[in-house]
Structure 1
């Protein structure tokens, strides 16, 4: 059965930023496909809620509350997977993000922090996970990038540059780690998470965003989780070094920030 190729029975995954939104949806999707999951984010209460849902799905979850803005904490998650479950097969580098800011207000330090949070953290966990993935016979890594890594819009210089770098990091890491470890990315569009809450709760803003999206809707976290499941499961076993665009068809920002011309 073709659906069997989407199974992760007996596998172990680490998902960062898994207390809510895309990370939580992804962790639950991997569990429903048969994996045990190491969950990590700042807030234990959120992680415990996701862990309970994973238990309801018949799988095990290990909760690691941590501030993943620094690479060091992310690197420890691979060891947590091996110590708890005895192996590691899947890594999802989901944690990341940077607030919009005009170029004139984007300091060098702010730009460097965007790289550290979006690229450095992913690299730290990827590098730490490689020995365990090889010990398990190979595995899959998925990085969560963004449509803003390939389109241009005012206010997204730090965020878009970091996410564009993460996409290229994905291609380069895939070359280094082939053939046993596959590395791919998902470039997400506008998804109904807490980061987009101000739009989701404002009918006028939501209508503007949906009208500017070819598929005429905001994405659900499960849309991204399904793509990640494909890339981490045997269904995606012939895919590496690719950035899968799951963005509703966007070719430009679907909600401008309204930043004025410089004078």
Structure 2
């Protein structure tokens, strides 16, 4: 019998790639603001805006074995240009909506289940213009470690912290070949991340292959967070 996995987000970007991989071996439930992009994905869709809605639990199974929260934002501006509304909006999308959703589904998470959240390499590596996103994603890392401690050994909680990945969300940063080359050269592995790089890590963390891992922040970042080659 296939295990039940709930994904928040999945209609585009990294979440969509994760859904395409997981639908093969799992019973997938995807909650997102639109069904566009999910036409060829074998999953039950739930119309859901993480910043506004409560989950319709009648559309969920009685048991969940995995949970992946994909929504995120990239607001890269000098701090002096960041209004408080931007900080509040990023916290609402990246952190508070995650906490609220976790509260809603925690009663149906089963023994041995796995949760995956997303952070950013900018939390561990100070980067200019990342104050808002790093602040809200940093909250996720602290929350995940505390949650992992509180619910061990029943539920595993891990975080994936990517560097720059080629997605619609990062299109402005990769809008021409010069920008792409410059961004690639910043990473020791000399390339920009692909959606499959992150999706493969998520597939591992949601599975029993990672059953001895919890409370971890996994850098899938081309080496930029830990090594320097020039």
Provide the TM-score with structure 1 as the length reference.
0.80
Q: Do residues 123 (structure 1) and 99 (structure 2) align?
A: yes
TM-fit CA distance, 1:78: 5.7
| Alpha carbons 1:133, 1:181 under 8 Å: kept | yes
Q: Give the aligned partner of residue 257 of structure 1.
A: none
1:67 counterpart residue number: 49
Deviation of the 1:79 alpha carbon: 5.2
CA distance in 1, matches of 2:8, 2:217: 19
- 2:215 is aligned to 241
Work out whether 1:171 is the aligned partner of 2:145: yes
C-alpha distance in structure 2 between counterparts of 1:148 and 1:78, whole Å: 35
Gaps of 5+ in 2: none
The correspondence for 1:81, drawn from 44, 50, 60, is 60
Partner of 2:116: 142
Does the 8 Å CA contact 1:27/1:37 hold for their aligned counterparts?
yes
CA distance in 2, matches of 1:200, 1:169: 31
Alignment of 1:36 with 2:27, yes or no, is yes
Residues 201/114 of structure 1: CA separation in 2 closer, same or farther (3 Å cut)? closer
Cα separation, 1, equivalents of 2:133 and 2:56:
24
SS of equivalent residue, structure 1 residue 217? coil
Residue 227 (1) aligns with residue 201 (2) = yes
- State whether structure 2 residue 7 is matched by structure 1 residue 15: yes
Residue 187, structure 1, aligned to residue 161, structure 2 = yes
Are 1:211 and 2:193 an aligned pair?
no
How far apart are 1:175 and its partner, in Å?
A: 0.8
**8 Å Cα contact 1:144/1:185 also seen in 2:** yes
Over 3 Å counting, the alpha-carbon distance change for 1:79 and 1:171 in structure 2 is farther
CA deviation profile, 1:114-171 (whole Å, cap 9, x unmatched): 111111111112121211113xx34110001111122222211110111111111110
* Matched residue, 1:100: 76
8 Å contact from structure 1 (residues 78, 125) kept in 2: no
Partner of 1:46: helix, strand, or coil?
Answer: coil
Corresponding position of 1:156: 130
SS at match of 1:184: strand
In the aligned structure 2, how far is the partner of 1:192 from the partner of 1:207? Answer: 12
Q: TM-score scaled to structure 2, two decimals?
A: 0.91
Change (3 A) 1:78 1:151: farther
Alignment match, 1:109: 85
Q: Does 1:132 align with 2:114?
A: no
What is the CA-CA distance between 1:112 and the residue it aligns to?
2.1
Cα RMSD for the two superposed structures: 1.8
Indicate the structure with greater helix content.
Answer: 1
Q: 1:126–1:141: 8 Å Cα contact kept in structure 2?
A: no
